[in-house]
Amino acid sequence: MVTGIVYDDIYLQHRIGTHVESHERLIAIMEFLKEKNLLDDKDYLLIKPRKATLDQIKYAHEESLINEVKEVSELAESTGHTQSLDMDTLVSGKTYEAGLYSVGGNLEAIDKIMSGELKNVFALVRPPGHHSNSYKCAGFCIFNNIAIGAEYLFREKGLERVAIIDWDCHHGNGTQDIFYEGSKTGEVTFFSSHQDGRTLYPGSGFINEIGKGKGKGKIINFPMPPGSAEDVIMNFFDEIVDPTLSEFKPEFILISAGFDTHWTDRLTNMGWTYQGPARYLDKIKSIAKKYADNRILITLEGGYEIDKQAKAVYNCLKVLNDDGENLIEEKLRRSDPDLLNYVDNKLIPKLKENLSNYWNCF
């Protein structure tokens, strides 16, 4: 079956100067996919996004945030100068428009997966979303694409249980905030694995942040020590993600995919290879196969070494289309034994203990 790729040039129009979250990221990915002839392969289909409606943006955001993005975009357009929403979140004249299409790319993808037209989709969208909460844009993010996707599945597709897995190197604090007390319209289990917040923006995502009220136990954070290679995430999957999702039985899996865990990334201090995310995805696919009729949508978040990111995205596309045998691989890196020992014998057991009142598996 066919894997979809969402892309449109509108995503390049969120153009914010020399900022690391640059339009060049998407250009590099698309050029690499062309170079590998992936876009001519009958197993892949390039699909165009649509514009999300304002009512759909409101599934996750307050009207004041939407108005602010619109007004600041208009100011950038009229002055011809980039404007800012906070210290590191910049806006161009086309950011508002690109944001609507970024959310709409996810919604179009969900439609095509739910109808059975596509097996799964990778949405190559900008601006990213996982640091934006209901009322504030932050961390290079505008609208929270993944959170709106989850609400869309509940409100317009009638699903009841959705898992969100965020493997960006930064804590998905915006998504966490939005679902901290659960969703009014469905059940969300949110996993964020990220570099320990004591050493990286946004400084949150610790194992005692487990949700509140209806959402209690359904926010699951995995703060990885700096230097962690992808062996750490495989253990997190086996010990935490697999048992909880086997109990939760998600009907759809949404992935916030950042590629800034790569060992060369300029913003972070991790040890993943460019095949690491694809290997993690391969494990996640087993859950989607068992419970979710294979339904997976991946949405692009961060990743700042654009050549490495392009390879990592290509690898994920291969895994999505059941071709995980043919990845582009670099030499596997391993975490320091002391670091692995801490993760396996301290961090994971403590996380299980914190979650034990909410999951039968622990």
> How far does the chain reach from its first CA to its final CA, in angstroms?
36
Smallest distance, Å, CB 189 to Zn ion?
21
Which of 250, 258 has the CB closer to Zn ion?
258
Give Cα separations from 272 to 116, 153, 213, 278, 312 (angstroms): 33, 31, 35, 11, 10
**Site track 301-330 with Zn ion (rule: CB under 5 A), x = hit:** -x----------------------------
**Total count of residues recorded for the chain:** 362
Which of 221, 244 has the CB closer to Zn ion?
221
196 binds Zn ion (CB under 5 A): no
Contacts to Zn ion from residues 75-134, by CB under 5 A: none
Distance CA 202, CA 218 (A): 20
Distance CA 317, CA 351 (A): 31
Query: Among residues 260, 265, 282, 305, which is the contact residue for Zn ion, using CB under 5 A?
Result: 260
Smallest distance, Å, CB 140 to Zn ion?
8
Annotated catalytic residue: which of 131, 171, 194, 262? 131
Token digits of residue 218: 């359904």
Which of 170, 318 has the CB closer to Zn ion?
170
Phi, psi of 33 (to 5 degrees): -65, -35
Query: Among residues 8, 168, 230, 251, which is the contact residue for Zn ion, using CB under 5 A?
Result: 168
Smallest distance, Å, CB 128 to Zn ion?
8
Token digits of residue 303: 């990743």
Smallest distance, Å, CB 304 to Zn ion?
8
Smallest distance, Å, CB 200 to Zn ion?
9
Which of 72, 257 has the CB closer to Zn ion?
257
Which stretch, 169-177, 218-226, 277-285, 322-330, contacts Zn ion (CB under 5 A)? 169-177
170 binds Zn ion (CB under 5 A): yes
Which stretch, 157-165, 184-192, 298-306, 354-362, contacts Zn ion (CB under 5 A)? 298-306
Count of residues touching Zn ion (by CB under 5 A): 6
The question of whether 131 is a catalytic residue gets the answer yes
Which of 259, 291 has the CB closer to Zn ion?
259
Which stretch, 28-36, 47-55, 182-190, 255-263, contacts Zn ion (CB under 5 A)? 255-263
Which of 209, 260 has the CB closer to Zn ion?
260
Which of 3, 175 has the CB closer to Zn ion?
175
Smallest distance, Å, CB 141 to Zn ion?
10
Smallest distance, Å, CB 349 to Zn ion?
27
Contact 133, 174 (CB under 8 A): yes
277 binds Zn ion (CB under 5 A): no
Query: Among residues 129, 258, 271, 276, which is the contact residue for Zn ion, using CB under 5 A?
Result: 258
Distance CA 199, CA 195 (A): 7
Which stretch, 23-31, 86-94, 109-117, 170-178, contacts Zn ion (CB under 5 A)? 170-178
Q: Dihedral through CA 309, CA 311, CA 313, CA 318, nearest 10?
A: -170
Please report how many Cα atoms fall inside a 13 Å half-sphere around the Cα of residue 297, on the Cβ side. Answer: 33
Catalytically active residues, by annotation: 131
In the complex, the residues that contact Zn ion under the rule CB under 5 A are: 168-170, 258, 260, 302
